[in-house]
Amino acid sequence: MLALAVLTAAILSLGLGPVRIGPIEAVSALFGGEAGPIGVIVRDIRLPRAILAILIGGSLGLCGAALQGLMRNPLAAPSVFGAPQAAGLGAVAALYFGFVEAYSVALPAAAIAGAGLSVGLVVLVAGPRASTTVLVLAGLAVGSLAGAATSLALSLSPNPFALTEIVFWLLGSLEDRTMRHVALAGPFIAAGCALMLTAGRALRALSLGEEAAESLGVNVALTRLLIVAGVALCVGGGVAVAGTIGFIGLVAPHLVRPLVGHDPQRALVPSALAGALLLLVADIAVRLIPSGSEVKVGVLTALVGVPFFLWIVMRRRAELSGAPA
């Protein structure tokens, strides 16, 4: 059902924009090789946007499910770990020092390094058995540090035009993306997803605790490394082409968990599909909101994600206190 919903949302995404195109006409233009204006709009403008929404949203949903299974904590997510902010800092540094002009791979490499460093720091500081409070505080510290460093780099930028471009890019958007961006982010996201899916069986054992998992033959340190590396690759690749898009990784696993149970391995693929669907719907919504310029999709996901995050915190507090949720 989720896969069908993602496919439906992708077809709707191909038809929505300043020029409205019907679903049948959009599919015909996509596969029929039409060379007219509609074919150019569908294949060259909207298709890369839809593919990136599926790749980035799906990878963020998978990251959230993997991190929650690793930490055994419902608040674990790339945005809570400060990964998008740190990836943004790495990308801003690459843009600021001009590495992107010399090496096209410098942008995703810097974003991946920043994301990996942030997730590694939070896991190291909070520990594998961290409480919700410790996890949130560690992620807040890392994210705040990355945000402050990004603001410092922006304030020292000597070029106001570059400053404006970086600020708008950091807000998160899929607008005006091409197949070149898909080719740039796709391999990193695919590799990161493969690493996290490989650790699925170990996550199931970790739900019993680290000692029980080790007694079953699970290499806990290797599992932690696979997930941290996978999150870094996915978040870094996504941030490199679309800027910061938060809270998808937090929301998606919670939407599917009541349907698939609390087995971390079973939640991985559904969470990825739910994340892809969420970002596709958000990207469609920003095109439907009446405004002089298109609303950034990262702003919309944050507006929806923050209340959801607060609701999870309140429900968790009620569970710990024994009060009805």
Question: What is the b/e burial string over 199-232, where b = at least 16 CB atoms within 10 angstroms of the residue's CB?
Answer: bbebbbbbeeebeebeeeebebeebbebbbbbbb
- Contact between 60 and 278 under an 8 Å Cβ cutoff? The reply is no
- At 197 the pLDDT is 95
Name the helix (H) or strand (E) containing 233.
Answer: helix 220-242
User: 313, exposed or middle or buried, with CB in 10 Å at 0-12, 13-18, 19+?
Assistant: middle
Q: What is d(CA 119, CA 232) in angstroms, rounded to the nearest whole number?
A: 8
What would be the CATH architecture of the domain defined by 2-321?
Answer: Orthogonal Bundle (1.10)
Q: What is d(CA 303, CA 296) in angstroms, rounded to the nearest whole number?
A: 11
Tell me the C-alpha to C-alpha distance, in Å, between residue 222 and each of 196, 202, 218, 226. 11, 10, 9, 6
Q: What is d(CA 122, CA 136) in angstroms, rounded to the nearest whole number?
A: 9
Name the helix (H) or strand (E) containing 296.
Answer: none
Question: From the centroid of its chain, how far is CA 77?
Answer: 9
Q: What is d(CA 56, CA 239) in angstroms, rounded to the nearest whole number?
A: 9
Q: What is d(CA 225, CA 222) in angstroms, rounded to the nearest whole number?
A: 5
Q: What is the DSSP-derived secondary structure letter of residue 62? A: H
Picking from 176, 297, 183, the residue whose alpha carbon sits closest to that of residue 248 is: 297
- At 71 the pLDDT is 82
- At 322 the pLDDT is 61
- Contact between 305 and 246 under an 8 Å Cβ cutoff? The reply is yes
Written as one letter, the residue type at 79 is: S
Rg (CA), the chain: 20
Q: What is d(CA 284, CA 281) in angstroms, rounded to the nearest whole number?
A: 5
Q: Per-residue pLDDT tens, the chain, 325 aa: give them.
A: 999 999 999 999 998 888 888 888 888 888 876 667 888 888 888 999 999 999 999 999 999 999 899 888 887 888 777 888 888 888 888 877 777 766 767 878 888 888 888 878 877 777 656 665 676 678 788 888 888 888 888 888 767 766 776 777 778 889 888 898 899 889 999 999 999 999 989 999 988 888 888 888 888 888 888 888 898 889 888 988 888 888 898 889 988 988 888 889 999 999 999 999 999 999 998 888 877 777 888 888 888 877 877 787 787 677 666 655 4
